[in-house]
Amino acid sequence: MRLKKYCASPPVLLFHPIGRLELITGPTWIVSRIIVHSMRLKSSHLAFLAVAALVVSACSVPTDEGAIHDPYESFNRVSHTFNKGADRVLVRPLSQAYGATVPNPVRRSLSNVAAHLDEPKSVANHVLQGDVESAAHSFLRFLVNSTAGVVGLFDPAAGGFGLERRQTGFGDTLAAWGAREGAYLELPFAGPSTERDFVGLIVDVATNPVSHISSDVAILNTASTLPAALNVRYEFSDTVDSVLHDSADSYAQLRLSYIQNRKFKLNQQDPDDAGHDHFEDLYDEIYEELYDEF
Amino acid sequence: MKSSTTNSDPTRRTLLFAGACGAVALRVAPAHALSDDEARSLIDAVVNDIHRVINSGMPIQAALKEFENIFVNYADVQAIARSALGPPARTASPRQLRAFTDAFSGYISRKYGKRFREFKGGVIQVTESRKRSRVHEVRAIARLKGREPLAMSFVVSDRSGKTLFIDILIEGISLLKSERVEIGALLDRQGGDVDRLVAALNGTG
């Protein structure tokens, strides 16, 4: 089916500090990040995981074109209920306190640091995807923000240099390599994902290049995601609340938003690829049906 | 429109005939196909109105009313409401459908109007317009203060006889699809009863 190559949905979103709408996530990619980080996977394990990703994704094949492939729905819904509760009692109140007490420029800088430490991972994955231009772009961005940006506290690269962030991760790489999206998953703590993106998430966390610089940097990297994540939760509070707490079926809303947003991101990343067009993937018969039969 | 094969009442026949002519006229009317520029100018107008409201500093209740006006003027509310309601739209009575459409438009304006407040001080910039199958997609970028820009797409169609938008996508997430899921879930909660759904929608903040 057409979606084969483009229908990813990585975890990067959630994970990603500066992620936006997509960070309509369950609470705590942070916790999962710490867990995975402490596992300190070795490269042999990673190779295994990469292969496993391809195999796993290949196993779970959507039967109904256009519909979201969700064979684990009952598990996912339990996990969703948990995530929602954790958001209500923990993440949301923390983010409100963070937003109310820490001034915006400080919050932005802390978020910038998290984004900055994530940059080498993007460079590596752009390379793996064969996108040399984006790899160079992200590499330059990393250099500029390391120096002029005072170790990532500021983001002059995006401002004066026109080097906007082009975040990517191993979930995207798997998609670029042709791995299928697989089934939809809602992970406890980490929120919405897919089989492919889940593998991407584990590989991303375990291999993040900056974590190998020193254990201090590794700790900083993990620690920096907390304020960054709280900041997104705070800045997009209305949107997240609306999806998570004001929807009639928040599970279905979150699933739909995640899958659509992932497709959009993946297609956006590869605009030169002919016949690879985000609208084509998102476009379906609903616009046709709108005027039929009436 | 209801049709009856055994009906010989002249008035109804006339009506049927008039209806058929009307339908034909509607089909024929868009002989001039919607151009990229026409689709774009609709969205330029929408964006201008949105800017006017979000930067006016008017109280929230007034702003929400304005959003409802924008929605009613520029969107094909009937088609969107029908699609959101799904299959029950085919079996609902015309009165129910009208009541639902009204309730839906108020609900949509309140729900998304509140979110547009996040756009305060921001700018939506229309970037391109292109034909997609039977609809047009007009892309825009929303630049909000201190945030990364958001990609927006407006889906525009003239199949109703007027040039109107039928969907808004933000970062790939379709308002129409979200509302189909949401309204479907709300309808289930009301035991599939459209009248109760209307009452519930009117009660939402």
Asked if the C-beta of A104 comes within 8 angstroms of chain B's C-beta atoms, the answer is yes
Residues A93 and A210 in one domain: yes
Interface of A with B in 153-182 (CB under 8 A): 164-165
Residues A135 and A228 in one domain: yes
ipTM exceeding the 0.90 mark:
no
User: Please, how many CA atoms are within 13 Å of residue A22, restricted to the half-sphere of its CB?
Assistant: 26
Name the minimum distance, in Å, from the CA of B159 to any CA of chain A: 7
Which range marks the domain in which residue A205 is found? 42-291
Residues A15 and A84 in one domain: no
pLDDT tens for A171-222 read 999 999 999 999 999 999 889 999 999 999 999 988 888 888 888 888 888 8
Name the residue in chain B with its Cα closest to that of A231.
B147
Residues A239 and A168 in one domain: yes
Residues A246 and A204 in one domain: yes
Residues A143 and A76 in one domain: yes
Question: What are the extents of the domains in chain B?
Answer: 1-31, 36-202
Tell me how far CA of residue B8 lies from CA of B5, B15, B16, B20, B100, in angstroms: 9, 12, 11, 16, 33
Check residues A20 and A241 and name the one with the higher pLDDT: A241
Based on the structure, what is the number of domains in chain A? 2
Residues A138 and A249 in one domain: yes
Residues A18 and A124 in one domain: no
Tell me how far CA of residue A186 lies from CA of A203, A238, B177, B181, in angstroms: 18, 21, 20, 18
**Residue B25: what pLDDT?**
46
DSSP state for residue A132 in the 8-state scheme: H
Q: Which of A13, A277, A290 is the best residue to mutate to test the B interface, defined by the most B CB atoms within 10 Å of its own CB? A: A290
Closest CA to A12 of A168, A117, A223, A206: A168
Size of interface A-B (CB pairs under 8 A): 103
B118: nearest CB among A238, A252, A257: A238
A20: nearest CB among B137, B148, B184: B148
**Taking residues B19-40, what's their average pLDDT?**
64
For domain B36-202, the CATH architecture is Roll (3.10)
Least confident range of A88-92, B111-115, B121-125, B131-135 = B111-115
Name the minimum distance, in Å, from the CA of B89 to any CA of chain A: 10
Residues A17 and A134 in one domain: no
Residues A61 and A201 in one domain: yes
Residues A158 and A240 in one domain: yes
B146: nearest CB among A108, A263, A293: A108
Distance of CA A89 to the CA centre of its chain: 23
pLDDT tens for A104-140 read 999 999 999 999 999 999 999 999 999 999 999 999 9
Name the minimum distance, in Å, from the CA of A294 to any CA of chain B: 9
Residue B159: list chain A partners with CB under 8 A: 290-291
**Residue A262: what pLDDT?**
93
Alpha-carbon span B55 to A89, nearest angstrom: 34
Answer whether A287 sits within 8 Å of B134, measured CB to CB: yes
Residues A161 and A214 in one domain: yes
Answer whether B155 sits within 8 Å of A287, measured CB to CB: yes
